[in-house]
Structure 1
């Protein structure tokens, strides 16, 4: 029953996490922030986790563990709902400086074409916006509420993993804990599958659905300014987390069937506990109990920190998961920029391919350990094997990158003949130099020549089809198509699609992603078992808690920030609000994006593999005298710890 309740809680918890991952690009655009700041928001979960993880892991194991987990699940639900609240307090989303969403003027009248007599009105509009609307920009700091809500989610999630795993390892039948951990990790993969699937559905819905007339919205989900209904997913996940907390309040603190192989150890522990309780009334100062608990906590923490094999293990896991956290946070952005996929398409593919493969890997990993009764050294080697295979599949991504997008004024010249040496200093051409265009405007159009232009004006377009969808612009001299007369040069609203060759690479990329996460999941149960077996049995909860804190702080918190900062360096076009402040990125140098993104990912995994080799050597040296079955080796570790 505890396993069923914990599985439901893990599903709700991972649902909330996957909703954040699937919505991070939407949040970035909605609040007009950079990727590094979006990474900080994503890392808010880990900040909350790190604040209390050690204390919950140590003191929580001495209290009613199921109830502590239930309280944590309840707070996770409250935090998810809190994340969605800014949507109800902010104004309508403005995807362009010229957009007035409160009116019905979302037509081509705001899409400035190449007309000299619009120069004065354009300048006047810009100055009026800066002068009057600058201080009234709605929701400019509302991202702070999303950050705080994610911190609350992190605090609530804290007891679920360390207390749950230690509870299972304490009361499961001998040799079955690894299998139960595999089941638990596999069941928790249901959350991301559901999360990315509903994230795909919500990403197709406009952010202000139900509040505005959708017929007046001229952008589509393929547009880099599109923002889906990101807030709906957090309401769903919050409600499920609150429901998942209920069963834990009805579960016992200690089942009456302790593990047979540890009955003697439990009996000695009970005797010791009774002796301590009998001595408690004789203490002159009850405050000594608190002092002893704090002293015990410090000594316990010191005990695991001087364990070299444990430290090697968590450092290798930290590096490997840092690459995973950073990679996974921006994977939808990468697919959008590299392969031209929408957030909805990316979410659906992640939910239906990558996440199930990871779940199958986790199931298989737990089964292999139980079936073959692997020793501790064998488990470490198995973890290294799965990580190495995943590493080699990661290297394939460098061969699957598409060439950079052809964007006039950024990657090619405006006449489309020469590549741009620098996207910051591309001069205007004869075809648009007299149009008096606003070069900061981002209203992309796709010319018949396959080149994307930043606006109809910069394409030199003189007229348009009016309010009809799709909107087409005509008489665009910058769009040179051999064999057509000048008056037939046209462009349609939206960026140009990727080539067929790039689309074929995308399907190979999805297969590689599935294999990478399968082998990563294969080593998941191994890492958990090693974490609890390389320390004294009474320090299992603290060991998992410290391991989680380090992963959350260095991997979950820092990785999205420095991944995001590196990605920001590849931006070619930033948006700006009515005050001229920098917002989110409109388009990236996709080739540079890919090299930065996967070089950092592969580099972190390589360092993790080096540490795993050192760990295997250290374990082999310690256990080379006697390597028996997994359960016998586990008792040997306990015996040495007691000595």
Structure 2
């Protein structure tokens, strides 16, 4: 017996339940970080002059890094001490969090001094007013473009590598840690509940991240007083974006320590895992493979392992169903804050809060509850697939209902729909046809800066005929198109009382629809033998990331951009970001794309059920057909 083999009745400092608790906390921190990055994107864009395209890449790099590492970690990790590998991953994840905060050391917390802010506001007034004297300096916009393309390139590189490393180092969290729990619970029926508890944290964590971003966006980046006359709604306000990364990094570091005190396995010496160890020839320390040799072995053996998994029909069909089901998180949940903000006229912070409510109230709670139901009633694998199918049909129905619960977009003066061209038209370069704008020279205004008064919206202060701007109160007055009155910044949305009906429909639909999402992982683990679980789960995560989470933001972003009717052109010859959507088209496109992927998830889950009826899962194999090395483990479990 080797020194790694636990003796019968041996007591351990930490039980498997403590491991589960630690992983719940680790995944909660991971989810908090993922939600926090999304909540802080606008602040990072303002602080470092990132374009929306660069921000999108920052989000994708996490999934790219995770996908790059997950197969290698899954294969090599199965040959080593799983809790310690998880602990190393947690420590390295903390370092990636600290790396994400590094730009604050190199470039400082704030971008402008008080005097510089006043100068920028004076330049803004010259750029956006009704320029009756023709003194507008169009070159100021060119300077902003030059700054956007050049300033803080190094900061973007640091953040990009931080995101990439965060994805790589998180690879053990939802692969080998899951397998360690599934392989070491006393009874298999406990596994769905425990794994469901962990998975629910991926929905609960982002809600904490949205909350943390809302709090820290209200704290000025220097952690002191902001410059005079700069409020949280001012475009020059920068929240304490770096604090969240430091908090997540510190939490990771504290949670990492206990992982190094867990045993390699909790199984009795007669269990399969230890019999497998004993069946292997004793290897002296000098004959053990180095890390490089393990990599070479991986490259030689992996094609055969891959072929075996890909020809496992039950396994691969459930993985594909899981992949399409992941678009709920990768697509719907990612763009839900934008949908709520643009569709129902909620502020960005409130949109984040409502999205967090759906994440916690629907997805997180239902996933954990569904895992408990699977464990409590010991639902068989095939019956659980039927439960999954019914719950996914509920999600599809909620998407279809959601298509009809939208609001109208704000009306902007000069913006009209052209029926014969099936497009929206803005009177850009034809402003002089409006009497109040005849001498304002508004055709040189590229940047959107919406203003409103009495429900009437304008593209910019110039398009409202405004001539006077107060740099201290941040208000425009003497606006000729509204009879000389003052205007407020922003847009007035039409009244729409349907938002809470939409919130209720989606919360109920997603709650019922996610009750049995854990079935996807349960079938993946039950359709393979024990020694294949780590690589099987790693391959499933790899496929889900590569064809689900990574392309989802790009696909949804593409279709959402098709709904845009007014673009904010920051620079000449560039489209910029969208400032106004065709809400009816947005509602139908957003939920239609979700419905499309949900239908395919249902189809492949149904195929998996149909195929599972004609094959025997490993746990259903009679002892006569079962490999001898596994026979004793399953007999022991039956006796329990």
TM-score of the aligned structures, taking structure 1 as reference length: 0.83
Query: CA 1:568–1:205 in structure 2 vs 1: closer, same or farther (change >3 Å)?
Result: farther
Match of 1:441 among 443, 447, 451: 447
1:622 to 610, 615, 620: 615
Task: Tell me which residue corresponds to 2:636.
Answer: none
Matches within 5 A, 1:421-570: 421-423=424-426, 427-428=430-431, 429-437=434-442, 438-448=444-454, 450-463=455-468, 466-467=470-471, 469=473, 471-477=475-481, 479=482, 486-487=483-484, 490-501=485-496, 504-570=497-563
Q: 1:416 aligns to what?
A: none
State which of 303, 307, 320 in structure 1 corresponds to 2:308: 303
Corresponding position of 2:135: 120
Instruction: Describe the superposition over 1:5-31 as per-residue Cα deviations: whole angstroms up to 9, x where unpaired.
Output: 222211111111121232344445555
Q: Does the Cα contact within 8 Å between 2:49 and 2:152 map onto a contact in 1?
A: no
With over 3 angstroms needed to count, the CA separation of the structure-2 counterparts of 1:424 and 1:551, relative to structure 1, is farther
What are the Cα deviations for residues 52-91 of structure 1, in whole angstroms up to 9, with x where unaligned? 2111111112111111111111222222232233355458
The answer to whether residue 103 in structure 2 is matched with residue 86 in structure 1 is: yes
- Structure 2 equivalent of residue 156 of structure 1: 169
- The total of aligned residue pairs comes to 602
Please state whether the residue corresponding to 1:458 is helix, strand or coil: helix
Distance 1:634 1:582, change over 3 A: same
Any idea what the Cα deviations from partners look like across 1:364-386, whole Å, max 9, x if unmatched? Answer: 21122122221111111111111
For the 8 Å contact 1:192–1:351, the answer to whether it is kept is: yes
Q: Find the aligned partners of 1:327 and 1:440 in 2 and give their Cα distance.
A: 31
CA contact (8 A) 1:198 1:233 kept: yes
> What is the CA deviation profile of residues 598-642 of structure 1, one whole-angstrom value per residue up to 9, with x for unaligned ones?
22111111111111111111112335xxxxxxxx97353998674
2-structure distance, mates of 1:301, 1:334: 40
Indicate yes or no: 2:207 matched with 1:193: yes
Residue of structure 2 equivalent to 1:13: 30
Q: Deviations over 1:565-610 (max 9, x none)?
A: 3333444444455787665444444333333322211111111111
* TM-score, L = length of structure 2: 0.84
Say whether the 8 Å CA contact 2:529–2:618 is kept in structure 1. Answer: no
Equivalent position to 2:319, from 310, 314, 318: 314
Match for 1:362 among 359, 367, 376?
367
Equivalent-residue separation in structure 2 for 1:255 and 1:593 (angstroms)? 52
- 1:361 deviation in Å? 0.8
Q: Residue 619 of structure 2 is aligned with which of 611, 634, 638?
A: 634
Residue 152 of structure 2: aligned partner: 139
| Offset of residue 264 of structure 1 | 5.2
Q: Which runs of 5+ in 1 are unaligned?
A: 414-418, 480-485, 624-631
Map Cα deviations across residues 328-349 of structure 1 (whole Å, 9 max, x no partner).
2222222221112222112222
Q: Could you say which structure has the greater relative contact order, defined with CA pairs below 8 angstroms and 6 or more residues apart?
A: 1
More displaced stretch, 83-92 vs 543-552:
83-92
RMSD: 3.6
1:599 aligns with 2:592: yes
Map residues 203-222 of structure 1 onto 2, 5 A cutoff. Answer: 203-205=217-219, 210=224, 212-216=226-230, 220=233
* TM-superposed deviation, 1:171: 1.1
Alignment equivalent of 1:403, drawn from 391, 394, 408: 408
Paired residue for 1:2?
19
* Offset at residue 40 of structure 1 (A): 2.7
Deviation at 1:230, TM superposition (A): 3.6
Which residue pairs with 2:258 in the alignment? 247
3-state secondary structure, aligned to 1:116: coil
Paired residue secondary structure (2:477): strand
Describe the superposition over 1:103-127 as per-residue Cα deviations: whole angstroms up to 9, x where unpaired: 456368446432412x134346557
Q: 1:236 aligns with which of 241, 244, 247?
A: 247
- The range that moved more, 107-116 or 249-258, is 107-116
5+ residue gaps, structure 2: 1-17, 629-640
State the distance in 2 between where 1:232 and 1:286 align: 37
2:80 to 63, 75, 79: 63
- CA drift at 1:412: 7.5
Q: Which moved more, 1:419-428 or 1:534-543?
A: 419-428
Matched position secondary structure for 2:452:
strand
How far is the alpha carbon of 1:286 from its aligned partner? 13
